[in-house]
Structure 1
C-alpha cells in the first residue's frame, strides 16, 4: 500500500478537546439548558401582561425630497410573546442537539463547527436585537428590516468562520470574523444613536442596552479566543461550553429585564 493511499484512508483531524468525556458533558449541559430556557419561556408567557409595541410605516408622497408624512401603525408586536419565542427557540435547539440530532451535532463538533448554533442564533438573537431596538425607540418597519438583515449577516459570518477553518488547517483566516464584526456593529450604532439622542429613555432601557451589549461582544470574544487558541480556548469543546453559558445568560438577562420593566403588569 502506498503512502498516498494510507493518507487517504486516515480519519480527518478532529477538533481539539472533542472527546467522549467532553461530548457527554455537553449533552448534559444541553439537556439542562433546554429545561431552563423552556421553563423561562413558559413563565414569561403565563406571567406577562399584554404590553405591545407598534411598528409603523411612512411611505413617501411625491418626488424625491418631498416631505414624508407622519408614520402610521402597521401592526403591534406582543412583547411577552416575542420574549417567550426566543427562549423557546433556544430550548428547542438544546433539546434536539441532545436527543434526535445528537449524532449530527457531535460529528459537527468533531469537525470544528456547530451549524445548529448558528441557525438558532440567526433567529433568536435577531429577535433579541429587534426587541432592544424597539425599546430604544426604533419602531419603523423598514429600520427593523435593515437591523434584522445586519444581525443575520453577522451570525452567518460566524458560521463561515468555522466553515473555512476546519481542524488540521495550516493557517487560520479571521476574515469572516472581522466581516461579521462590521455587520454586527450596525444595529448597535443605530440603537446607540437613538438612546443618546433621547432625553426620556427609562433607566431600565439603559440597563438592557449595557448588559446585552456586553453579552453580544462576549460571543465575539469567545470566537476570537477560540481561533487564536488562547489558554483554555485551545479546546474547541471549551469554546462550545462558553457559547452555552453566554446563550443562557444573554437570553435570561434580556427576558427578565424586559419583564421587570414593562411586562410585570
Structure 2
C-alpha cells in the first residue's frame, strides 16, 4: 500500500471536507433524481405484488450437529430445522430496501446525494447494496439448498465484505489521480466466494435442481459481475465512463434489472399460487 492510500484508509480524509472532483450540473442532478424516483416506484410496485399475490412457499434454515467429539461419523449427527423462511416476503424485502433508498436520496437526502456525487462517491449506494444484495445472495443460496445456518452466515458476510471493498474503492480514489486498485481486487476475491459455494452445491448433490434454478444462478452471476465491470470502467475512465455520472446511472439501471430478474424468476417458478 502506498503512503497516500494508507493515509486514506486510516484517516478517511474524503469523508471530511475534501474538495469536489466531479462536475455535476443542476440538470444532471435533476435527471438522476427522476431516474431514482422511477426506479423506486418500480421496485415498490414489484415488492407489493410479491406480498399480495405470492404463495406461502418456504425453505428451512437448518443446523447440523455431530452430537459427539470431532471424528464422530456423520451418520450419527442430527439435522435440525431452526426456522422456516417464506421466500416471498424475503424477496419483497430487497425490493422495498431499494425503493426506500431511491426515495431517500430523491427527497430528504437529495442535497447530500448531490454532494456525494461531486466527490466521486455514493455511500448511500453501498449501504443499500450491503443489505439488498446480501438478501439476494441468501435467497439464491437457499433455492440451491444452501440452508445450513453457518453456511448462510458465511455467504452473507462474504457478500457484505465485497460491497464494503467497493465503498473503500470510492473513498480512497479521486478523479485525476492515480488509482489504487487493491480494494477492487479484494472485493472480487470476497465476491467470488458465495458463487463457488453455489457451484459446489450444484455439482456435488445426488439430484440436479430444477432448470429454473440454473437460470437464476447464471443470470444473477452475470448481473453481479456487471457491477464490478461498471466500477472497473469508471476508474479506467473508458469512453463515456470517464464521466462519473455515467457509472452512477449504470449502477441504478443494473440494480433495477438484477433485482427484477431475480424477483420475477422466483415469482414465475415458485411464488405463483397454484390453487
Matched, 1:38 2:44: yes
3-state SS of paired residue (2:78): coil
Aligned positions of 1:205-216 closer than 5 A: 205-216=213-224
Q: Which residue of 2 aligns with 1:82?
A: 90
Task: Find 1:29's aligned residue among 24, 35, 58.
Answer: 35
Mapped to 2, the partners of 1:192 and 1:105 lie a distance apart of: 38
Task: Find 1:48's aligned residue among 40, 54, 79.
Answer: 54
Name stretches of at least 5 consecutive residues in structure 1 with no aligned partner: 1-10
Mapped to 1, the partners of 2:208 and 2:94 lie a distance apart of: 28
Task: Find 1:126's aligned residue among 120, 134, 147.
Answer: 134
Task: Find 1:188's aligned residue among 175, 190, 195.
Answer: 195
Aligned positions of 1:1-265 closer than 5 A: 12-16=19-23, 18-68=24-74, 69-168=77-176, 170-198=177-205, 199-265=207-273
1:61–1:67 contact (8 Å) kept in structure 2: no
Q: Which residue of 2 aligns with 1:8?
A: none
Give how far 1:193 is off: 1.1
1:86–1:124 contact (8 Å) kept in structure 2: yes
Name stretches of at least 5 consecutive residues in structure 2 with no aligned partner: 1-17
1:86–1:125 contact (8 Å) kept in structure 2: yes
Give how far 1:234 is off: 0.4
Give how far 1:70 is off: 2.8
Give the TM-score normalised by the residue count of structure 1: 0.93
Give how far 1:71 is off: 1.1
2:141–2:198 contact (8 Å) kept in structure 1: yes
Give how far 1:65 is off: 1.7
Q: Deviations over 1:88-120 (max 9, x none)?
A: 000000000000100111100100110010000
User: What's the RMSD between the two structures over aligned residues?
Assistant: 1.2
Q: Deviations over 1:218-244 (max 9, x none)?
A: 000000000000011001001000000
Give the TM-score normalised by the residue count of structure 2: 0.90
Give how far 1:60 is off: 3.2
